[in-house]
Structure 1
Amino acid sequence: MTGAGTLEEEGVVTALIDARARVRTQRKSACGQCAVHGACGTSLLERFFGRRPVELLALNQVGARVGDRVTVGVKESSLLAAAVAAYLAPLAALMAGAALGQSFGGARADSASLLGAVLGFTLALLWLRGYSARLSGRPEQQPRILRRLGSTSAGCVAAPSAVADDPA
């Protein structure tokens, strides 16, 4: 899976779950890479909300252990298909439902349009739930750990409950 067509990110394994590992990565920003240098909406949102870590389940075919720094990869085509499904399908269903409601609503076209939009959006979300479940059963569509990079110190990946029990 390495090579062209794969997006890679470094992270730390925080837990092992069967043949998968929970990996925490730090969300990267494109700020500083373009001519605007932090004056765009993306940088404003990042400053307001902060950069929180992202956690994902990845296939652990390299035998990574908790605390290991790893490189996680996902196929670009898988990510693109998931993004289209997550963004385009609900939007298209919402607009189609609104248009159908407007067309068949008669004297109450506005109300029917609103109802059609809500119904279309709801149906798209239900479809998206099934689509996501089908993808989760296909290993070729899953993120996977490509390689181990080394270990971090045990303090860096302490469980939240261990931190909460600390009397200090």
Structure 2
Amino acid sequence: MIEESGVVVSIDGPNARVRIERRTVCGGCAAHGACGTSLIERYFGRGSIHVEALNQAQASVGERVMLGISEQGLLSASFAVYFAPLAGLLGGALAGEALAGFSEGGYGDAAALLGAALGFALALLWLRGYSARSRSRPEQQAVVCRIERGVPVGIPTAP
């Protein structure tokens, strides 16, 4: 189980909306401030994100909690998010180029570009459906594992 701490900001039936502060690993790196990750952090800032999680611990608004997600669920979701657009781009480009090869004229590159764009768009549509279906799959849903007693809200905890 992969865990992260956050603060409950609202309750909606069996789910809790939890605010998590974004963290990077820049503090422990020898190239502190000179890599792409630190540049992105400086540009976008260190804001917070909100996560919908199943409230198994029965946490209340304002409590600091520990969220968890299974490694298998995170791995399968990551694979889908990275692989589907890539497969759509490459498959669409190859299909477009193959279809242009059957016709007269030199439109192979334009057809490949159009096919890649169409394949990418179809992959994003598939990901949208995958995301909707994964909300009902327990292994891909974040869960409020426990309430962290004695940890003041607003003070980040050490990893």
**Do the structures match in fold with TM over 0.5?**
yes
1:84-142 residue CA offsets vs partner (Å, 9 max, x unmatched): 11121111111110111112213211221111111111111111111111110112321
Partner-residue secondary structure (3-state), 2:57: coil
Amino acid at match of 1:111: A
Amino acid at match of 2:108: A
Partner-residue secondary structure (3-state), 2:49: strand
Is there any run of 5+ residues in structure 2 with no aligned partner, and where?
Answer: 155-159
Instruction: Give the conservation status (yes or no) of the 8 Å contact 2:26–2:32.
Output: yes
**CA distance, structure 2, for counterparts of residue 33 and residue 96 of structure 1:** 40
Instruction: Give the conservation status (yes or no) of the 8 Å contact 1:90–1:121.
Output: yes
TM-score normalized by the length of structure 2: 0.87
Which residue of 1 is the match for residue 143 of structure 2?
144
1:8-58 residue CA offsets vs partner (Å, 9 max, x unmatched): 111000000110100000011010222212211101110121011011001
Q: Once structures 1 and 2 are overlaid, which stretch shifts more, 131-140 or 10-19?
A: 131-140
Partner-residue secondary structure (3-state), 1:32: helix
**CA distance, structure 2, for counterparts of residue 74 and residue 38 of structure 1:** 30
Is there any run of 5+ residues in structure 1 with no aligned partner, and where?
Answer: 1-5, 157-168
Instruction: Give the conservation status (yes or no) of the 8 Å contact 1:67–1:152.
Output: no
**CA distance, structure 2, for counterparts of residue 119 and residue 84 of structure 1:** 21
Instruction: Give the conservation status (yes or no) of the 8 Å contact 2:77–2:140.
Output: no
Partner-residue secondary structure (3-state), 1:73: strand
Q: Once structures 1 and 2 are overlaid, which stretch shifts more, 16-25 or 96-105?
A: 96-105
Which residue of 2 is the match for residue 120 of structure 1?
119
Which residue of 1 is the match for residue 53 of structure 2?
58
Question: How many residues were matched structurally?
Answer: 149
Which residue of 1 is the match for residue 130 of structure 2?
131
**CA distance, structure 2, for counterparts of residue 45 and residue 8 of structure 1:** 24
Measured on the aligned residues, the alpha-carbon RMSD in Å equals 1.6
**CA distance, structure 2, for counterparts of residue 68 and residue 82 of structure 1:** 28
TM-score normalized by the length of structure 1: 0.83
Give every structure 1 segment of 4 or more consecutive aligned residues whose post-TM-superposition deviation is greater than 3 Å.
150-153
Partner-residue secondary structure (3-state), 1:140: helix
Q: Which residue of the other structure, out of 10, 27, 30, is the alignment partner of 1:15?
A: 10
Amino acid at match of 2:124: L
Instruction: Give the conservation status (yes or no) of the 8 Å contact 2:26–2:33.
Output: yes
1:152 CA drift (Å) = 5.6
**CA distance, structure 1, for counterparts of residue 37 and residue 152 of structure 2:** 31
Give yes or no for the alignment of 1:83 onto 2:78. yes
Amino acid at match of 1:130: G
